[in-house]
Amino acid sequence: MVTVARFRNVVIDCPDPLALAEFYAQVCGGTPHPEDEEWVVLQVPGGPRLGFQRVEGFTPPEWPRADRNGQQFHIDFDAGSTWEEIDVAHEKVLALGARPLDLEDREKKDFQVYADPAGHPFCLCRIEHP
């Protein structure tokens, strides 16, 4: 298959690009590289590039409501194969400034939903490793 273009990065709108890039660097690695006060890039080790873009008057999504600003996007993180590993990751993301959105039925769903400091949803997922 011939493709049109190569994947470059996912851009996340937020009120404070450096602060949000630092949050995600603590979650999944990498070092934020500010280009200016409006734009910061984070290269996730072994993963995608995340761009963080300042948006004045930013309104965070309301999870799980789709009728007001929608979810926009979310990021899934493989946080381990056991609930003990997920519990450790849970405590760490809370300490970094995340807030829980949906922690119910985790055995049934194999994930828990949080909001990053700017209000974007992300999931800590339990992944069965072979």
pLDDT in tens, 71-110: 567 899 999 999 899 999 999 999 999 999 998 887 788 8
Q: What six digits make up the tokens of 38?
A: 């409006």
pLDDT in tens, 103-113: 888 778 889 99
Burial class (CB in 10 A: 0-12, 13-18, 19+), 21: buried
Q: Does domain 7-55 have CATH number 3.40.50.620?
A: no
Burial class (CB in 10 A: 0-12, 13-18, 19+), 39: middle
Cα separation, 50 vs 11, in Å, equals 6
Cα separation, 17 vs 103, in Å, equals 27
Delimit the domains of the chain by residue range.
Answer: 7-55, 63-130
| CATH match for 63-130 among 3.40.190.10, 3.10.110.10, 3.10.180.10, 3.40.50.150 | 3.10.180.10
Q: Look up the pTM and report it.
A: 0.86
* Cβ neighbours of 45 (radius 10 Å): 8
Q: Same CATH fold, 63-130 and 7-55?
A: yes
